[in-house]
Structure 1
Amino acid sequence: MASELIRVASRTSTLALLQVREFFNAFPGVAYEIIGRPAWGDLRKDISLLDNPPADLFTREQDELVLLGEADIAIHSAKDMPFPLPDGLELIALTEAFDTSDSLVSRDNKTLAELPAGARIATSSPTRKAGLLAIRPELVVAGIRGTIEERIAQIDAGDYDALIVATCALKRLGLMHRVAEVLPFRTHPLQGSLAVVGRKGNPLFSRKEMRDRAEVNFATADARSRYGHVSITGFGPGNPDLLTRRATRALGLADIIFYDDLLDARELHRYTAEKVYVGKRKDRHSHSQEDIHQLMIDAARAGRRVVRLKGGDPMVFAHGGEEALALAQCYIPYEIIPGISTALAVASLTGIPLTHRGLAASVAFVTGHSPQLQLPGTDTVVIYMGAANLRPIATNALAQGRTPETPVLLAAHVSRNNEQRFFTTLGQLASEDNNYPTPLIAVVGKVAGLGAVLPAKSRPTLLVTGTHPGDYDRLGKVIHQPLIELKALDTPPLGELLRHHDWLIFTSRNSVDFFVRALLKEEKTDLRSLAGLRIVSVGRITSRTLLRYGLKPDLQATDESSEGILTLLRHRPAARAVIPRSAIGLPALPEGLRKAGWKITEISLYTNNLPEPTEAIDLTGIDTIVLTSPSCVTNFKKVYGQFPAEKNYLLRGRETEKRFENEKDNTKNYQVKLQLSGHTNTDAAAMAESTRHPLHHQHDSI
């Protein structure tokens, strides 16, 4: 089999033949023959490459040889391939890029900055032309054709002053001495790579055949086998409770997240991935769309699991299609995870349907970027991103025949705690200057008039400041603003330490999680190291967390607090105990045990800090503020400056209550409820107006 020739279709230029040789250098045991044939583009040098030439200009003849069975494979410069490939062909291998840059070749080796105004620069690429004129708009850009050698000869003959050409081509041809400088332009995303194309169904390249014939295993040269994966993911309208389970799973697995403006970046703190902001708002773009494409491509090529996170649904006015196409053209695996589009969310959250029997049988989504927008003739029109142009859009709609009384719903920050709704008409919008908050969505049509019969608010809104917002879902609508961020610290060898102690005392679920993680990181150490130790849990939630790791506490405090543990151990013989905890754990427990004769070793497992950045949010719609630890109390005051007296407060645990008493304004009266072991000493559920179920919580840090 090794003697069987592989027939390779190739163009006949020196560069094309060198590329074939370069590819087969990785397979020295493979015999091959080159079937050389000029491409149509090689023969038709009258066709300008700056004027949208056919996509297969340099691959058509070679691909036809493969489809006809006269060649087994074709080897192309990857950037010359059409996308998608012709029917019947498949990409067998895509090599790592040899060099992705462009270089300047000029007479007298002048750099781009040294070329005089009006100098004629030759290129065969619209992308290169745009990059060049962005830097030197006073230069003259002209098209050029021919092989690399022929193009350089035209420079030397004085036909042009300089030439832009792929650096990889110059390297392969041994012409790097002609480079005046490497240019900073964006280049084709496949530049520098070689593509091996074969006929679909060719048994020579079936997976089994390639496994059995190591010498023809071109898959080993395929860079795609090392690529990561991109999830283009919809975050929904903004409230993280509306995130889909699949999106949550993708975020949890991600290595890097590229996120937009239309979501709250604070909601990403829970995920360990690197986070890169790439948002775009009116007149303020952190990155161009092309930059975003390249960031995703580079991360995926580096083998990373990428989430491209977008507000709403990625395929509704969110550039999701452009990004999917950019990935597909680079043969990067991706998926699209739907999100709840803001138009659908505003309908459900306001109770205003987009379609309604007798009122609206059709709906259209449009963007309001242009003041010349003409609304389509559907019964309902949803306008995205139109805040700046509401007046001219309304004026145009009236001119089209819509009545001034046509109802309009405007909604800003849909689904978030600071959501705002405004009911108006087209006539009012057309006759007044508008200054509505953004991001804004508008619903135009008779259905918006149903706002007059919307149901009253049915559930209270809670601002939860701790790390476990789900604990409070039953009490109402939860807005999560974490005011503590936990990060692991380096610890001494726990296995050795535990051998010299009798008790292990856990004061929170977090202490359990960080302790087990630290223990399992150590070599030759696992949960069997806890054999012989008695375990104390501060309460029900901590005990549940222990059971998740297969650990059953010997004792559990009734009162989930430092005092509860002290009461539990007060009449037991003094012993040696380890207390894993936060670096800012309160001193009451270890000091109380030491006074009782216990030998206590405290281990700081994690830090507890205010997340950065944290900014105050609008508390207008908040009914109850939930402070789950002393740190939350302190950090709330840092962020907000004071505790608003008109709000209800739910405080978790006595230590949190003490901190609140110390830091509140004593000249004001506060509605405060205390949450203790499995219940509240007053009716917190009634205060939250929503549930008859008891609460089961404890301190984040005691």
Structure 2
Amino acid sequence: MIKKVKIFSRKNDLTVKQVKEVLGCFKEITFETDFAEAYKDEFDSRLLADSRSQHPLMQEFVGALLGNSADIVIHPAKELPYPLNDELEVIALTDTLVSKNSGKLKETPFETHPLQGNLVVITKRNNEPLRKLFRKIDIRKNFGKVYLAGFGPGDPELMTIKTDRVLSEADIIFYDDLLDSSCLKKYSGEEIYVGKRKGKHSKNQDEINRILYEAALKGLKVVRLKGGDAMIFGRGGEEINYLRQRFIDVEVIPGVTSAIAAAAETLIPLTHRGVASSVAFCTGHPENKIRIPDADTLVYYMGASSLKIIAEKLMRNGLSGDTPTAVIRNASLPSQQVLTTTLKKIVTDNIVAESPSLIIVGDTIKVNNYVGELL
């Protein structure tokens, strides 16, 4: 049983009061506290709105924990670096009456950091006795969980069993544009549309991040349902970072990405022995982001409006004008359309693609004699 704990924190009037309030929850423990000198208030003010900033004291705190001169560090949550050192972990996120009642925080002339007023308790990883001790003050146990789930390319039968299960258990579902919303009617959770198409965003990414966070703070089981796979041009990484920086538990459930679905539906292999041993997934917009990787098969997502630009770039970079190219619209849906052509014809015939379309470029398209057959 723990009798004594060595603490390291910073010597700031508000933080000292917050730490004392936290320690008051553990009457049976003797705490030995070391307060490091705080840095200037100008740095603290900047941190209120800037989640990318890192307090200079954090390096000192990390050294204290890894060097065993402190058992725990208690520090303002908004200043915690992300990701945290691999050898450390946060064992509690706390809220204090001192911070809630602070007039200084109420009078800030700008939007404060969402973790303003919270403290984190940090220790070396896998310290089970300290985890157990501080669990009673950890407000994270009241938070919900966010699932980033891939719906697949559009056909509901291509959705995974696990995604179906979490949808059936969800309190709230934030769903994307590229899926049939009628498929969600069988689920009891509240449905909120947050789809984005080129030039038409129901909500921008910052708003989506915020509403996911706010729903999780209420203790809800949240599903962020995305077309295709969340980790392939789905901005899943941005949402993960935003939520984890705010101590929200996130789980990713993979989905069938449209490149795989298009290959299956058209019977065009993305790799083929003796023809293509590599494949690259690329974004098809904006123009300055279009890349030409060194791969045998190239797949361009979201490239309908840039089809001619992509073809011209590929030919300028050495690909033959006769290189087979397939344009697949609405892969896996009854409205699917497939056009097979060549890079040169896209330019000379001024071929236009409708959104949403996927573009496959490479010799695997002609492996099964599909060029011209699917026009």
Q: TM-score, normalised by structure 1?
A: 0.49
* Structure 2 SS opposite 1:59: helix
Could you give the per-residue CA deviations for residues 633-687 of structure 1, whole angstroms, max 9, x where no partner exists?
Answer: xxxxxxxxxxxxxxxxxxxxxxxxxxxxxxxxxxxxxxxxxxxxxxxxxxxxxxx
CA distance in 1, matches of 2:131, 2:122: 13
From the superposition, tell whether residues 62 and 308 of structure 1 become closer, same or farther in structure 2 (CA, over 3 Å): same
Q: How does 1:442-521 map to 2 (within 5 A)?
A: 442-450=359-367, 452-453=369-370
1:32-81 Cα shifts (integer Å, max 9, x gaps): 34211125x55997xx9799987351322234333333333221100111
Per the TM alignment, residue 206 of structure 1 is displaced from its structure 2 partner at its CA by 4.9
Secondary structure of the equivalent of 2:152?
Answer: coil
Residues 98 and 192 of structure 1 are in contact (CA less than 8 Å); yes or no, is this contact kept in structure 2?
Answer: no
SS of the residue aligned with 1:22?
helix
Secondary structure of the residue that 2:16 maps to in structure 1?
A: helix
1:295 aligns with 2:220: no
Match of 1:361 in 2: 277
* Structure 2 counterpart of 1:190, one-letter code: L
The verdict on how the C-alpha distance between 1:5 and 1:332 changes in structure 2, with shifts beyond 3 A counting, is same
Q: Which residue in 2 is equivalent to 1:268?
A: 184
Cα distance in 2 between the residues matched to 1:379 and 1:206 = 51
Q: Distance in 2 between matches of 1:96 and 1:292?
A: 25
Residue 300 (structure 2) pairs with residue 383 (structure 1): yes
- Cα distance in 1, alignment partners of residues 197 and 341 from structure 2: 25
1:361–1:198: structure 2 CA closer, same or farther, 3 Å change rule?
Answer: closer
Q: Which runs of 5+ in 1 are unaligned?
A: 100-167, 211-217, 458-702
Q: Structure 1, residues 472-514: CA drift from partner, whole Å, max 9, x if none?
A: xxxxxxxxxxxxxxxxxxxxxxxxxxxxxxxxxxxxxxxxxxx
C-alpha distance 259-73 of structure 1, shift in aligned 2 (>3 A): same
CA distance in 2, matches of 1:366, 1:409: 15
Q: CA deviation at 1:85?
A: 2.3
Aligned to 2:260: 344
2:240 corresponds, among 301, 318, 324, to 324
The one of 143, 151, 154 equivalent to 1:235 is 151
Q: Judging changes above 3 Å, is the alpha-carbon distance between structure 1 residues 290 and 437 closer, same or farther for their aligned structure 2 residues?
A: same
| Match of residue 191 from structure 1 | 116
SS at the partner of 2:252?
strand
| Conserved? CA contact 2:51–2:78, under 8 Å | no
Q: 2-side partners of 1:97 and 1:293: how far apart?
A: 25
The corresponding residue for 1:428 is 345
2:136 is equivalent to residue 220 of structure 1: yes
Q: Distance in 2 between matches of 1:434 and 1:190?
A: 51
Contact 1:58-1:80 at 8 Å conserved across structures:
no
Residues 345 and 351 in structure 2, CA contact (< 8 A), matched pair in contact too: no
Residue 230 of structure 1: SS of its match in structure 2? strand
Equivalent pair of 1:362/1:380 in contact (CA under 8 Å):
yes
Corresponding residue number in structure 1 for 2:321: 404
1:22 and 2:21 aligned: yes
Contact 1:42 1:58 in 2 (8 A): no
Q: What's the CA shift for 1:333?
A: 1.8
Q: Which of 247, 256, 273 is 2:172 aligned to?
A: 256
How big is each residue's C-alpha offset from its partner over 1:288-315, in whole Å with a ceiling of 9 and x where there is no partner?
2122222222212211111111111111
Distance 1:453 1:13, change over 3 A: closer
The verdict on how the C-alpha distance between 1:402 and 1:79 changes in structure 2, with shifts beyond 3 A counting, is same
SS in 1 for 2:11: coil
- CA deviations 1:505-525 (Å, max 9, x no partner) are xxxxxxxxxxxxxxxxxxxxx
Residue 238 of structure 1 deviates from its aligned partner by: 0.4
Map Cα deviations across residues 516-540 of structure 1 (whole Å, 9 max, x no partner): xxxxxxxxxxxxxxxxxxxxxxxxx
Cα distance, 1:66–1:378 mapped onto 2, change above 3 Å: closer
Please give the alpha-carbon distance, in whole angstroms, between the structure 2 residues aligned to 1:378 and 1:356. Answer: 13
Cα distance, 1:219–1:279 mapped onto 2, change above 3 Å: same
In structure 2, the partner of 1:395 is: 312
> Quick one: distance in 1 between partners of 2:68 and 2:318?
63
Give the 5 Å matches for 1:8-407: 8-28=7-27, 30-38=29-37, 41=39, 55-96=54-95, 168=99, 171-172=101-102, 174-175=103-104, 179=107, 183=110, 185=111, 187-202=112-127, 204-207=129-132, 210=133, 218-372=134-288, 373-407=290-324
Deviations, residues 337-394 of structure 1 (Å, cap 9, x unaligned): 1111100111111111111223222211101103353422322111100111111111
Deviations along 1:173-193, whole A, 9 cap, x unmatched?
Answer: x4479x3x764x3x4342221
Residue in 2 aligned with 1:418?
A: 335
The residue aligned with 1:632 is: none
* RMSD, aligned CA: 3.0
Matches of 1:387 and 1:436, distance apart in 2: 5
For 2:253, the aligned partner's letter is I
The SS at the match of 2:57 is coil
TM-score by length of 2: 0.88
Measured against aligned partners, the alpha-carbon deviations of 1:111-159 in whole angstroms (never above 9, x if no partner) come to xxxxxxxxxxxxxxxxxxxxxxxxxxxxxxxxxxxxxxxxxxxxxxxxx
Matches of 1:43 and 1:256 in 2, distance apart?
40
SS across alignment from 1:415: coil
| CA–CA separation in structure 1 for the residues paired with 2:200 and 2:115 | 29
The answer on whether the counterparts of 2:93 and 2:137 sit within 8 Å (CA) in structure 1 is yes
Residue identity opposite 1:243 in structure 2 = M
Task: State the alpha-carbon separation in 1 of the partners of residues 97 and 284 from structure 2.
Answer: 44
Given residue 280 of structure 1, which amino acid in structure 2 is its aligned partner?
Answer: K
